[in-house]
Amino acid sequence: MSQLDYTIHQPARLQIMSALCQLLEGERVDFTYLKDHLGLTDGNLGAHLSTLEARDYIAVDKEFVARRPKTFVAVTPAGRQAFAEHVAALQLLLAPK
């Protein structure tokens, strides 16, 4: 039986992982898109991204675009696997008995 992943289970991180897992492999989004899409503050999103990055669920890349710093975020293969297992555990909990 799959187990809930309490790193992902936190509501904001669940939303982040859900948004990132909808991307195709190799795709990434920028910090501002995620912030606006999820309605989080800079500090809140940054803290959650740090937690997910520490678990190797996401990759965060900082680059300069038109001489301005920009942060990009992508889900890792480990993150996709952890999210799939978390969703499977949720489905088991919600399944009729």
Give the amino acid at 64: F
How much is the pLDDT for 1?
A: 56
Tell me how far apart the alpha carbons of residues 55 and 69 are, in angstroms, rounded to a whole number.
24
Residue 11's domain comprises: 6-92
What are the tens digits of pLDDT across the range 65-88?
Answer: 899 999 999 999 999 999 999 999
Tell me how far apart the alpha carbons of residues 25 and 48 are, in angstroms, rounded to a whole number.
21
Over its length of 97 residues, how does the chain's per-residue pLDDT go in tens digits?
578 999 999 999 999 999 999 999 999 999 999 999 999 999 999 999 999 999 999 999 999 989 999 999 999 999 999 999 999 999 999 988 7
Q: Give a yes or no: residue 58 inside a domain.
A: yes
Q: Give a yes or no: residue 71 inside a domain.
A: yes
* CATH number for the domain harbouring residue 66: 1.10.10.10
C-alpha dihedral (61, 65, 68, 73), degrees to nearest 10: -30
What secondary structure does DSSP assign to 25-71, as a single string? Answer: TT--EEHHHHHHHHT--HHHHHHHHHHHHHTTSEEEEEEEETTEEEE
Q: Give a yes or no: residue 97 inside a domain.
A: no
Domain count, the chain: 1
Indicate the pTM of the whole model.
Answer: 0.92
